[in-house]
Structure formats: C-alpha cells, structure tokens
C-alpha cells in the first residue's frame, strides 16, 4: 500500500512488453500519477475497475493440457471488453499478457471455437462469461 504505483506500471510494462510510458492508470476517469501510492489515494482491494456502459467483464483462462503436470497456471485475465469490439483485441491482449507471441492458441466459448472477427455482442456473451484458451 505504501509503494508508488510506478511499481505496478513497470510490472505491467514488462508483462505486456511495452514501454512504461504506454501504461495509463485511471480511477473513475482520473489519471493516477505513477508517483502516488495506493494508501495516499485511499485505494483498497475493492477498487477493481468495473466495466463501463457497453462493456462486459469477460474472463480468459488458459486450459493448457500440461498445466496439471506440475506446471504453473497463470491467473485468468479479466479485462473490461467493449461488446461491439472484435475479439481479436482480447485475444492479442491475452497473448501479450502471457508472453506468448505467435504461439498458436485456440479460443473457445460455450464449446465453440472463436474467430477474432466475432464480437461479444454477436455471440450473446454476458457479464463474467468465460473464454477458454488452449495451446
């Protein structure tokens, strides 16, 4: 709680493999300074961003066939996703967050393989739906 948000920005930049200057932290439409601390901003664990109008919180979780063999399973990714935006955005975000580059991945929702051109709206997705990813 007392470390500056810069630590989070630098970690996110490493995971996403982008310059730290590309990371923008917002709280209720207000930009947060990387030098500020969660304590000084009065933030707590409950301050998880909620999806805005026209967005859904979708969970993307890996289903790697090797994950049960003592491998470390990364936590799921649950970004707010625009309902009308093609899922290719979410698929690329998952790849970047996991450092998977061009590794062939298959994305599934309700047992159907997803195409990046589909939108959550077209697929009838709802809040907190789960997209499975297989390597």
> Measured over all CA atoms, what is the biggest interatomic distance in the chain, rounded to whole angstroms?
46
- Report the CATH number that the domain containing residue 99 is assigned in CATH: 3.10.20.90
Query: How is residue 129 written in tokens?
Result: 């739906």
Distance (Å, whole) CA 80 – CA 129: 12
Domain enclosing residue 22, as ranges: 6-41
The predicted pLDDT at position 94 comes to 86
CA angle 97, 27, 6 (to 5 degrees): 55
Query: How is residue 53 written in tokens?
Result: 């109008």
Output the pTM of the full model: 0.60
pLDDT(21) > 90:
no
DSSP 20: G
Same domain, 36 and 63: no
Same domain, 108 and 67: yes
The predicted pLDDT at position 33 comes to 86
Same domain, 60 and 101: yes
Query: How is residue 73 written in tokens?
Result: 């399973």
Q: What is the pLDDT of residues 43-102, one digit of tens each?
A: 765 455 566 678 888 889 987 554 433 445 566 778 888 899 999 988 988 888 787 878
The predicted pLDDT at position 67 comes to 44
Inter-CA distances, 114 with 28, 35, 60, 61, 133, Å: 32, 40, 12, 14, 10
Same domain, 27 and 84: no
Rounded to a whole number of angstroms, the distance between the first and last alpha carbons of the chain is 36
Same domain, 63 and 129: yes
Q: How confident is the model at residue 28 (pLDDT cuts 50, 70, 90)?
A: low
Q: How confident is the model at residue 130 (pLDDT cuts 50, 70, 90)?
A: very high
Q: What is the pLDDT of residues 101-116, one digit of tens each?
A: 788 899 999 999 999 9
**Rounded to the nearest 5°, which phi and psi values hold at 115?**
-100, 145
Outline where DSSP puts E strands in 58-129: 59-62, 80-82, 106-109, 112-113
- Domains in the chain, number: 2
Strand, coil or helix: what is 107?
Answer: strand
The predicted pLDDT at position 1 comes to 65
């Amino acid at each position: 709680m007392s470390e500056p948000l810069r630590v989070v920005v630098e970690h996110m930049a490493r995971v996403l493999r982008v310059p730290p200057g590309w990371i923008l932290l917002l709280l209720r439409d207000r930009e947060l300074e990387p030098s500020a601390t969660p304590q000084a901003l009065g933030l707590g664990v409950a301050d998880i961003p909620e999806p805005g109008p026209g967005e859904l919180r979708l969970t993307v979780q890996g289903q790697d066939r090797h994950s049960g063999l003592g491998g470390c399973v990364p936590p799921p990714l649950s970004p707010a996703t625009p309902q009308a935006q093609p899922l290719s955005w979410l698929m690329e975000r998952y790849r970047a967050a996991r450092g998977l580059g061009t590794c062939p991945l298959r994305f599934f929702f309700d047992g159907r393989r997803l195409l990046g051109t589909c939108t959550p709206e077209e697929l009838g997705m709802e809040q907190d739906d789960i997209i499975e990813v297989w390597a």
